[in-house]
């Protein structure tokens, strides 16, 4: 099914999804309609007292009228308002969600109000009654909250009622109750006067109905559009939040199972549907297997593998075409359609998972409602599928790298273990030869033995560092940490290297600032870090140079370990690869000193394992400064 076909099929499902007829009031207007109807009941409680007070004031001012009838009408208004009040209390909550029932409730109120007003008009002078233009209020109310024709209907009701009263009084069919002021009746004496009053009243009400209905129609339409757009905007915001959550999950979670668990759950929640599935394509493209799902039966997901060759639907999706349907019974392309029907699925939406123009699988959405997915759902789902595909591809790449790293570490560990014992035996034999336990050795032979011994020891050092590196990546990715007293670390470092520094003619100084807290770290790894940095500094500093190690406080409860030398320095072009395994700077290789190229790689591994930082500043021929920043523990005691 093409995208255009999808849009044609689902163009009306947005209203079907919400269960709202476009001609009925929006839920925001329905809420206002309900509130105004109840407000009208509350307002009406003041009408009977106001009528009685007005009647009393008129009598004091010299007006005469049928007082008993007026007071009776006030009691009538009070009685039917009590009925409406009780009715609002008895109604079930669901009744207030039905626009027609709410409108009927208002129609009854306005109809009885008009009956009361017409009675007041009749008993207070007919066409010249001061109550005559009170009919305008209900027309305005009807125009603002009820369908457009309601305003014309109530205007016609008022005009017709007053016309019947006027004509009945003029023709003698109804007794006339004039309004009297100081003994003089305020009554028209001729038929033209009667008709002029009736015409003025009718024109006023009909013009009021027309203007108010026309204006309110525009406001209502604009309000309806604004309410629809507000609701759509809220939906967009929710979906954008969901996409942002997907991006965060993809960026922070590395393993595929966890990524799929999060994205399937979040998509099902934000789309308010029953289930989401992720099917991934096999390497040969022949099968689709469920790798992640939310809301589908576990047995269905575990046992179902789709054969692409036997599924026209999935072939089309893999070709890049989304598919949506609101009635599974109309389609026979589903390889396991009967299982979806058993699970009470009626609507489905499938889009391809594409990354770098490669189809890697299918993202599916399932709902128990018919015709659930709109064109907006399709577009949103395609965006989500793009993010999910990136997350899957990244997770696969990370897991491949992780597997390769693990296998490499295991290989390095096995090789190192297998080589260390023979090399230790070779060193023992060399020791016997050099010390002439197996016979005399001349000077030339002794020099060759020293060179072999030196090379063998270098190889053994490399093997030991390989073991350290492998161990740090496998066994101790999260090393056991404890507080380490800085003075104790500095003392150990000084005792280890003072003789070597003196032998090379190097001035070694170690300084610990007073009041430093303990360092939080793994004892063996921190010692390894310090020894590697100090050893490199001494090794690449010529005789007469200086090596300084200092321990100082750093911001955010950290400790800075600074190792500075006046050695050969590091070329700028070699700085980016400084912490790479087996890498040695060009000037270090030119020097006769042997090295493994693993010391700084191990330092970087240890710093990362302790959530620290390491920086390097170096100038060739002037020296190098390493600054390692590690977390401290305030007030800790020495627990070596």
Question: Which residue is it, tokens 């520094």?
Answer: 501
CA-to-CA dists, residue 162 to 2, 110, 156, 205, angstroms? 64, 16, 10, 11
> If DSSP codes are grouped into helix, strand and coil, which group holds residue 587?
helix
Pairwise CA distance, residues 340 & 352, whole Å: 20
| CB 250, CB 397: distance < 8 Å | no
Query: At a CB cut-off of 8 Å and minimum separation 6, what does 296 contact?
Result: 275, 277, 290, 343, 366
Q: How confident is the model at residue 7 (pLDDT cuts 50, 70, 90)?
A: very low
Q: What is the mean pLDDT of residues 123-141?
A: 79
Pairwise CA distance, residues 212 & 37, whole Å: 19
Pairwise CA distance, residues 283 & 414, whole Å: 32
Query: What's the mean pLDDT when you consider all of the chain?
Result: 78
Q: What is the mean pLDDT of residues 420-438?
A: 75
Q: CATH assignment of 253-397, given 3.20.20.70, 1.10.540.10, 3.40.50.300, 3.30.450.40?
A: 3.30.450.40
Q: How confident is the model at residue 5 (pLDDT cuts 50, 70, 90)?
A: very low
* Maximum mean pLDDT: which of 158-167, 522-531, 558-567: 558-567
Token pair for 329 = 């019974």
> If DSSP codes are grouped into helix, strand and coil, which group holds residue 317?
helix
3-state secondary structure string across 486-533:
HHHHHHHHHHHHHHHHHHCCCEEEEEECCCCCEEEECHHHHHHHHHHH
- CA dihedral defined by 266, 271, 274, 279, rounded to 10 degrees? -60
DSSP code of 125?
T
Query: At a CB cut-off of 8 Å and minimum separation 6, what does 30 contact?
Result: 97, 99, 102
pLDDT for position 17: 45
pLDDT for position 21: 46
Helix (H) or strand (E) holding 250: helix 191-252
| CB 550, CB 540: distance < 8 Å | no
Pairwise CA distance, residues 581 & 597, whole Å: 6
> Does domain 479-633 fall into CATH 3.30.565.10?
yes
Residue 454 pLDDT more than 80?
Answer: no
pLDDT for position 45: 92
Paired with 548 in beta bridges are 509, 564
pLDDT for position 357: 83
Paired with 549 in beta bridges are 510, 563
Cα four-point dihedral sign 596, 601, 606, 612? positive
Edge-to-edge strand list for the sheet holding 180-181: 63-64, 180-181, 184-185
Q: How confident is the model at residue 295 (pLDDT cuts 50, 70, 90)?
A: confident
- pLDDT tens, 577-598? 888 877 777 767 666 555 667 7
Rg of the chain on CA atoms, in Å: 46
Higher per-residue pLDDT: 613 or 20: 613
pLDDT for position 197: 58
- pLDDT tens, 194-238? 555 565 566 666 656 665 666 566 566 666 666 667 666 666 667
Pairwise CA distance, residues 68 & 73, whole Å: 9
> If DSSP codes are grouped into helix, strand and coil, which group holds residue 169?
helix
% of the chain surpassing 90 pLDDT = 15
pLDDT for position 341: 66
pLDDT for position 554: 92
Q: 268-272, 324-328, 385-389, 463-467: lowest mean pLDDT where?
A: 463-467
Residue 638 pLDDT more than 60?
Answer: no
* Maximum mean pLDDT: which of 105-119, 471-485, 544-558: 544-558
Pairwise CA distance, residues 197 & 162, whole Å: 10
Q: Measuring CA to CA, which residue among 115, 135, 110, 140 is closest to residue 37?
A: 110
Q: Measuring CA to CA, which residue among 561, 565, 540, 563 is closest to residue 623?
A: 565
Q: Is 460 exposed, middle or buried (0-12, 13-18, 19+ CB in 10 A)?
A: middle
Q: What is the mean pLDDT of residues 281-293?
A: 86
| CB 490, CB 530: distance < 8 Å | no
Q: How far apart are the first and last CA of the chain?
A: 70
Higher per-residue pLDDT: 4 or 171: 171
Cα four-point dihedral sign 478, 479, 485, 491? negative
Within a 10 A sphere around the Cβ of 450, how many other Cβ atoms?
12
Q: What is the mean pLDDT of residues 107-124?
A: 88
Question: Which residue is it, tokens 């109000």?
Answer: 113
pTM for this model (two decimals): 0.47
Token pair for 337 = 């359609």
* Maximum mean pLDDT: which of 3-17, 171-185, 399-413, 528-542: 528-542
> If DSSP codes are grouped into helix, strand and coil, which group holds residue 624?
strand
Q: How confident is the model at residue 78 (pLDDT cuts 50, 70, 90)?
A: very high
Q: Measuring CA to CA, which residue among 559, 557, 502 is closest to residue 530?
A: 559
| CB 363, CB 351: distance < 8 Å | yes
Residue 365 pLDDT more than 80?
Answer: yes
Alpha helices in 45-147 (DSSP H): 47-61, 67-90, 99-123, 135-145
> If DSSP codes are grouped into helix, strand and coil, which group holds residue 585?
coil
pLDDT for position 75: 94
Phi, psi of 237 (to 5 degrees): -60, -40
Cα four-point dihedral sign 593, 598, 599, 604? positive
Paired with 387 in beta bridges are none
Q: What is the mean pLDDT of residues 2-11?
A: 40
pLDDT for position 339: 64
Q: 188-192, 368-372, 456-460, 502-506: lowest mean pLDDT where?
A: 188-192
Domain ranges across the chain: 26-230, 253-397, 403-472, 479-633
Pairwise CA distance, residues 217 & 208, whole Å: 14
Query: Interhelix angle for 148-170 vs 135-145, to 10°?
Result: 160
Q: 36-50, 485-499, 624-638: lowest mean pLDDT where?
A: 624-638
Q: What is the mean pLDDT of residues 611-619?
A: 92
Within a 10 A sphere around the Cβ of 332, how many other Cβ atoms?
9
Phi, psi of 184 (to 5 degrees): -105, 125
E-state strands within 295-424: 305-307, 323-325, 347-355, 358-367
**The residue count for the chain:** 640
Q: What is the mean pLDDT of residues 78-88?
A: 90
Query: At a CB cut-off of 8 Å and minimum separation 6, what does 53 contact?
Result: none
pLDDT for position 59: 84
Pairwise CA distance, residues 483 & 488, whole Å: 11
Pairwise CA distance, residues 29 & 227, whole Å: 9
Q: CATH assignment of 403-472, given 1.10.287, 3.40.50, 1.20.120, 2.20.25?
A: 1.10.287
| CB 144, CB 216: distance < 8 Å | yes
- pLDDT tens, 36-71? 778 888 888 988 998 899 888 888 888 788 888 989
The DSSP string of 181-223 is ETTEE----SHHHHHHHHHHHHHHHHHHHHHHHHHHHHHHHHH
DSSP code of 579?
T
Q: Is 453 exposed, middle or buried (0-12, 13-18, 19+ CB in 10 A)?
A: middle
Residue 545 pLDDT more than 90?
Answer: yes
């Amino acid at each position: 099914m093409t995208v255009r076909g999808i849009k044609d099929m689902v163009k009306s499902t947005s209203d079907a999804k919400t269960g709202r007829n476009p001609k009925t009031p929006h839920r925001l207007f329905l809420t206002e309609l309900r509130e105004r109807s109840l407000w009208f009941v509350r307002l009406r409680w003041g009408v009977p007292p106001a009528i009685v007070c007005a009647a009393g004031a008129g009598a004091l001012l010299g007006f005469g009228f049928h007082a008993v009838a007026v007071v009776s009408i006030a009691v009538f208004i009070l009685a039917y308002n009590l009925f409406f009040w009780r009715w609002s209390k008895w109604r079930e909550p669901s009744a207030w969600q039905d626009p027609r029932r709410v409108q009927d409730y208002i129609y009854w109120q306005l109809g009885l109000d008009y009956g009361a007003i017409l009675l007041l008009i009749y008993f207070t002078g007919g066409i010249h009654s001061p109550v005559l233009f009170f009919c305008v209020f209900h027309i305005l109310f009807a125009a603002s909250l009820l369908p457009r024709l309601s305003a014309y209907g109530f205007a016609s009701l008022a005009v017709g009622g007053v016309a019947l009263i006027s004509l009945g009084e003029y023709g003698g069919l109804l007794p006339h109750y004039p309004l009297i002021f100081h003994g003089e009746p305020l009554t028209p004496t001729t038929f033209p006067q009667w008709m002029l009053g009736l015409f003025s009243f009718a024109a006023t009400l009909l013009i009021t109905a027309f203007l108010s209905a026309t204006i309110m129609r525009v406001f209502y339409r604009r309000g309806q559009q604004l309410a629809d757009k507000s609701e759509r905007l809220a939906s967009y915001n929710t979906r954008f939040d969901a996409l942002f959550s997907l991006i965060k999950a993809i960026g922070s979670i590395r393993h595929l199972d966890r990524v799929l668990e999060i994205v399937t759950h979040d998509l099902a929640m934000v789309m308010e549907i029953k289930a989401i599935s992720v099917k991934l394509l096999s390497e040969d493209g022949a099968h689709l297997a469920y790798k992640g799902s939310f809301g589908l039966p576990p047995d269905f997901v575990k046992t179902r593998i789709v054969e692409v060759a036997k599924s026209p639907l999935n072939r089309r999706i893999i070709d890049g075409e989304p598919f949506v349907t609101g009635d599974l019974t109309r389609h026979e392309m589903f390889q396991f359609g009967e299982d979806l029907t058993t699970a009470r699925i009626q609507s489905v939406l499938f889009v391809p998972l594409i990354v770098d123009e490669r189809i890697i699988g299918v993202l599916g959405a399932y709902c128990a409602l018919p015709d659930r997915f709109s064109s907006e759902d399709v577009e949103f789902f395609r965006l989500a599928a793009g993010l999910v595909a990136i997350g899957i591809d990244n997770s696969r790449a990370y897991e491949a790298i992780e597997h390769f790293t693990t296998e490499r570490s295991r290989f390095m560990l096995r090789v190192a273990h297998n080589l260390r014992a023979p090399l230790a035996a070779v060193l023992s034999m060399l020791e016997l030869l050099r010390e002439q336990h197996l016979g005399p050795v001349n000077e030339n032979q002794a020099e060759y033995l020293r060179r072999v011994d030196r090379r063998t020891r270098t190889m053994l050092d490399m093997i030991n560092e390989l073991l350290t590196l492998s161990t740090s990546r496998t066994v101790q990715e999260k090393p056991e940490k404890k507080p380490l007293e800085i003075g104790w670390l500095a003392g150990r470092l000084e005792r280890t290297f003072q003789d070597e520094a003196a032998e090379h003619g190097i001035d070694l100084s170690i300084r610990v600032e007073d009041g430093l807290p303990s360092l939080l770290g793994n004892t063996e790894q921190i010692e390894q870090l310090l020894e590697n940095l100090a050893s490199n500094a001494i090794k690449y500093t010529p005789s007469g140079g200086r090596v300084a190690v200092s321990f100082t406080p750093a911001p955010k409860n950290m400790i800075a370990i600074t190792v500075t030398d006046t050695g050969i320095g590091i070329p700028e072009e070699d700085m980016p690869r400084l912490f790479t395994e087996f890498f040695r700077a060009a000037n270090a290789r030119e020097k006769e000193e042997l090295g493994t190229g693993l010391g700084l790689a191990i330092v970087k591994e240890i710093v990362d394992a302790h959530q620290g930082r390491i920086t390097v500043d170096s100038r060739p021929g002037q020296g190098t400064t390493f600054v390692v920043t590690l977390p401290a523990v305030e007030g800790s005691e020495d627990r070596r």
